[in-house]
Amino acid sequence: MSILKTTIFSRHCIGPDKIHGGLLVMLPAMIALDLLAKFKIERILTEVGTSISIFPSFNLTLGHNRGVSFGILNSAHWITPYLLSSFAIVLVVFALRWASRQSSKLIQAAGIIFAAGGLANAIDRLGDGAVTDYLDFGWQATRWPTFNLADVFIFVGVALLLLGWRSGAAKPNSDQ
């Protein structure tokens, strides 16, 4: 734990002294929310069937993605979940480190939201070798690939990052 603490949470990387207010508290809360939603929805869908119609263009449909976005790099090989999760964790650490060095709360929030999604999917993937997907949108036969709350977090984090970058908010802290 001391290596993790000195490497990730040191004064030179990320930590409460670099990320404003309660933003850092959002990270474990969002991860827990996603993992709990996946657990509950998977349990319900396993009992009642693989899909529940919520309204005409939205279903809860159980899916397991062994690859990344849209099934890219889909593989049943035993090492794939470890490689994909390791890559996700490295990406999250770099994103958090970069976001923590920015003076903008928007950019820092974007980094936390992105990290929560990436870590939640990595944890889920390490559990059984696949990411549990359940959000299914579309109209009649035209459906978007199923996704989950962590994917929404990743999308929102990237969108906020782009919004902050576009507005000129992405500026390093003055003490860097």
**Residue 55 CB partners (closer than 8 Å, separation 6+):** none
Gyration radius from the chain CA atoms: 18
pLDDT tens sequence for the chain (176 residues): 444 444 444 444 444 447 766 788 899 999 999 999 999 999 999 999 889 999 999 999 999 998 777 676 667 777 888 899 999 999 999 999 988 888 888 999 999 999 999 999 999 999 999 999 999 999 888 999 999 999 999 999 999 999 998 887 666 766 54
Cβ–Cβ < 8 Å for 86, 70: no
What are the tokens at 97?
């480190």
DSSP 83-114: HHHHHHHHHHHHHHHHHHTBS-HHHHHHHHHH
Among this protein's residues, is 34 annotated catalytic?
Answer: no
Of 34, 124, 136, 151, which is the active-site residue? 151
Angle at 143 between CA 77 and CA 37, to 5 degrees: 65
Cβ–Cβ < 8 Å for 161, 114: yes
Say what the pTM is.
Answer: 0.83
Among this protein's residues, is 151 annotated catalytic?
Answer: yes
Question: CA nearest 41: which of 176, 135, 152, 114?
Answer: 135
Of 34, 133, 136, 175, which is the active-site residue? 133
